[in-house]
Structure 1
Amino acid sequence: MMKPEIAVQSDKTCHVCQSPDMQVIGEFSSLAQVTSDCRPWKRGGQLGICLSCGFVQKITDDAFLRDCEAIYRSYEVYYQAGGEEQKVFDQSRGLSMSRSESILAQLLKENKLPFSGTLLDVGCGNGNLLKSFSKHCPQWSLSGLEFDEKNRNAVEAIAHVDQFYSCDLSKVPASFDLISMIHCLEHISDPRRFLLLVKEKLNRDGMVLIEIPDYTQNPFDLVIADHCTHFDVCAIRQLLEQCGFEPVLVSTEFVSKEITVLARVNDEVKETTRMTSVQDSQRRLSEAIAWLIENIACATRIADHEELGIFGTSIAGVWLYNEIPERVSFFVDEDEARIGRSFLERKVYHPRKLPNQGQVFIPLPHKIAGGIAARLNIYGDRFIIPPPL
């Protein structure tokens, strides 16, 4: 995970278009938050929407900067599974693979990448994407970039990795055919400036690979305390076009609840994407927050009558636990790396080995939760899903 290059903004100024015309969403500050490495975080965050460009974003004031510094001082990626990357599940069959493997496999299947080239993975963490590239694209020369030295040894041990950088992107003394940013851009408080810097580091016809949450599919993205900008498909397309990138692929099908983008440098690209109206963005944001609040109500109603289990030990599960910690008795997960561990002082069970008592609430978007519940009901009719968004 790449530490955000946070430029100090004047209070309540849009960090995408610099407009001072921001609307702060008052009810958001009452919600608990969660860090992007899945740890409970305090209430009191500020969420806003720019009335000029329509981008949904955190208010990146001094309090936000202090929170980010505190979060990144003790950041521990995928600690719930001992450092193993989060799995992407085929919900119809319960099969899984890592996020990086899933993204790369589908890019290769669609012939979107050249046979060889040079890759810089920005925010490489402990090297999950680099491992996948090393395995499936051995002709590529690989490099990783992070804000500290913590994972240097792990990354440099990966086959075909030539360089590990721990500096600002502007100081990397090389250019590349592909720059990847897997769950990185949402942490950057000036995404336009950062994408322009990425473009400077790309070779002629170079490409950028971006993976970001889609808050319209997954409102839990809004309560991640260190996420600066909250994207939808129109927003990321428009931003890329403004920065001189031509989208080659924009998909919400590669990874559930996320947007996968592959874009090529093209300074002659015309800006064809238009954001939805500010009124539509306001409506969708209001609906997303109301849906989050309804998740709390649903889980609380279960806990009023019997033991409450939460399905999932990632963002959504941790956030819901943080809202009602005294009401949660256990967690449920299908990731073998997490089952049997103690998580937030609660045991993590596999769905087929649940405690004798209690029901399990699935805090995920309605359609996804419904598919999981239908598949897992072979273990008993104990899985409860939230209402539609």
Structure 2
Amino acid sequence: MTLVLSSGNSCQVCGSERLRELVSFRELPRVTSDARPWPAGGRLACCEECGAAQKIVDDAWRAEIAQIYRNYELYHQSQGDEQPIFSGQSTGPQPRSALIIDYLDGALTLREDARVLDFGCGTGSALKTFSGRHPRWRLYGAEIRDDARERLVQLPNFVELYTCDLDAIDARFDLVTLIHSLEHLISPVDTLIELRRLIGDDGRVFVQVPDCAITPFDFVIVDHLTHFTVESLRRLGERAGYETVAAHDALLPKELSWIGKAVASRDRPAATPHKGMDEIRAQVDWLNAQVRNSRELARSSANFGIFGTSISGTWLAGAVDEEVDFFVDEDPRRIGREHMGRPVIAPDNVAENSDVFVPLIPKVAAAVKSRLARQGVRYHAPAEIVR
């Protein structure tokens, strides 16, 4: 595995110019965050000072991002509805935004008519949930396009959708949420600094991002620039001038949640020990092994399928390509449709003498395999990550 010092880029988290590229990542097929396969050729680096993983921002990456966002369609497999989350609670799968509002109601005390901005509001799923829970909140959204405007204006307490630069917004908010948007941003520190002006001294910022320490699949998402651990998320927030009110991985599986409060001044966070490159190398090796193993399994199988039609399933299908015969999914909104030109079927409808690969983190994949395997249908889970 070759490591190459990257020049002309600084760390998105700490600002250091000591970025080192993991060249073997270039071999991996990729996927977009709206679940579309993407070819190999990405560049992934690790900061030698703080250990944060991130893409290298060059002309090729910028061109890819522009292409992705021209045709971006979030949750297109479920007609724009957000994906249900299996949180481990007895209530079963719930929308992500419902779990978030439960958490925010317990963690923050906002006035009944609070002004709330969802930065990167997407199709408006979170704002819809906020509206139902708090009908007196005044709700605002921010996005790069106005595709969701028609949906948003149906909310009785929705006020405005911003599609302008942050410095053109002349308003104050009690809460700004960034739900799976910070990882997409070039210069996330600068964005958080700009948001301080919009929340004043009493407002709060809530951020939710994927936890790359738990899910290596985050690395192969083309339009995810920065890959966070709880330590790097806290460090980035504090570098932007916030006091960390909360930072943890307990709200949702494979995701990190952070609440920040703006402070007048803040010393640059001290460097802390980290595994850095060794950890990222192990995860990239694990992803490459999944591609090799699934290709071998597909070639030897009479009927080969992949479990899931979201990020990881689409990524692996793009890597295996023509060898995939079908997808297996448990979401009733996706069953009976097609994904990547292949049928999406329920677990009970998988034909005998079939092999199904489960591209999820090992613990979750093993649970799926144990739960769904039956006579004549073989489910295959990836090996543990060797760290």
Regarding TM over 0.5, the answer is: yes
CA-to-partner distance for each residue in 1:282-340, whole Å, 9 max, x for gaps? 11100110111121233223213322211111111111111111221111111111111
Other structure's SS at 2:373 match: helix
Query: In 1, are the aligned partners of 2:14 and 2:236 still within 8 Å (CA)?
Result: no
Q: Kindly indicate whether residue 146 of structure 2 is the aligned counterpart of residue 173 of structure 1.
A: no
Deviation at 1:91, TM superposition (A): 5.7
Whole-angstrom distance in 2 between the partners of 1:309 and 1:91: 26
Query: In 1, are the aligned partners of 2:50 and 2:271 still within 8 Å (CA)?
Result: no
Partner of 2:324: 328
Partner of 1:27: 24
Q: Give the direction of change, closer, same or farther, for the CA distance of 1:94–1:333 in structure 2 (3 Å limit).
A: farther
Q: Give the direction of change, closer, same or farther, for the CA distance of 1:378–1:105 in structure 2 (3 Å limit).
A: farther
Name the % identity.
36
Query: In 1, are the aligned partners of 2:211 and 2:254 still within 8 Å (CA)?
Result: yes
Deviation at 1:20, TM superposition (A): 3.0
Q: Kindly indicate whether residue 364 of structure 2 is the aligned counterpart of residue 371 of structure 1.
A: no
Whole-angstrom distance in 2 between the partners of 1:266 and 1:385: 46
Other structure's SS at 2:280 match: helix
Whole-angstrom distance in 2 between the partners of 1:11 and 1:241: 24
Alignment of 1:151-230 (within 5 A): 151-230=148-227
Deviation at 1:263, TM superposition (A): 1.9
Letter in 2 for 1:60: V
Q: Where does structure 2 lack aligned partners over 5 or more consecutive residues?
A: 1-5
Q: Kindly indicate whether residue 103 of structure 2 is the aligned counterpart of residue 106 of structure 1.
A: yes
Other structure's SS at 1:201 match: helix
Query: In 2, are the aligned partners of 1:360 and 1:382 still within 8 Å (CA)?
Result: yes
TM-score by length of 1: 0.91
Query: In 2, are the aligned partners of 1:28 and 1:289 still within 8 Å (CA)?
Result: yes
Letter in 2 for 1:320: L
Partner of 2:230: 233
Partner of 1:41: 38
- 92-101 or 52-61, which moves further after superposition? 92-101
Deviation at 1:159, TM superposition (A): 2.3
Partner of 2:255: 258
Query: In 2, are the aligned partners of 1:299 and 1:308 still within 8 Å (CA)?
Result: no
Alignment of 1:29-108 (within 5 A): 29-90=26-87, 95-108=92-105
Partner of 1:316: 312
Q: Give the direction of change, closer, same or farther, for the CA distance of 1:111–1:216 in structure 2 (3 Å limit).
A: closer
Query: In 1, are the aligned partners of 2:84 and 2:93 still within 8 Å (CA)?
Result: yes
Deviation at 1:102, TM superposition (A): 1.8
Q: Kindly indicate whether residue 361 of structure 2 is the aligned counterpart of residue 338 of structure 1.
A: no
TM-score by length of 2: 0.92
Whole-angstrom distance in 2 between the partners of 1:22 and 1:300: 32
Whole-angstrom distance in 1 between the partners of 2:257 and 2:102: 13
Partner of 1:286: 281
Whole-angstrom distance in 2 between the partners of 1:371 and 1:113: 38
Deviation at 1:171, TM superposition (A): 1.1
Whole-angstrom distance in 2 between the partners of 1:167 and 1:344: 34
Other structure's SS at 2:200 match: strand
Whole-angstrom distance in 2 between the partners of 1:182 and 1:273: 27
Whole-angstrom distance in 2 between the partners of 1:188 and 1:20: 18
Deviation at 1:379, TM superposition (A): 8.0
CA-to-partner distance for each residue in 1:199-243, whole Å, 9 max, x for gaps? 111132211111101111000110111111111010001111122
Whole-angstrom distance in 1 between the partners of 2:9 and 2:238: 25
Correspondence for 1:299 among 294, 298, 313: 294
Q: CA RMSD in A?
A: 2.1
Whole-angstrom distance in 2 between the partners of 1:379 and 1:264: 55
Aligned length: 378
Whole-angstrom distance in 1 between the partners of 2:381 and 2:234: 32
Deviation at 1:154, TM superposition (A): 1.2
Partner of 1:146: 143
Q: Kindly indicate whether residue 383 of structure 2 is the aligned counterpart of residue 387 of structure 1.
A: yes
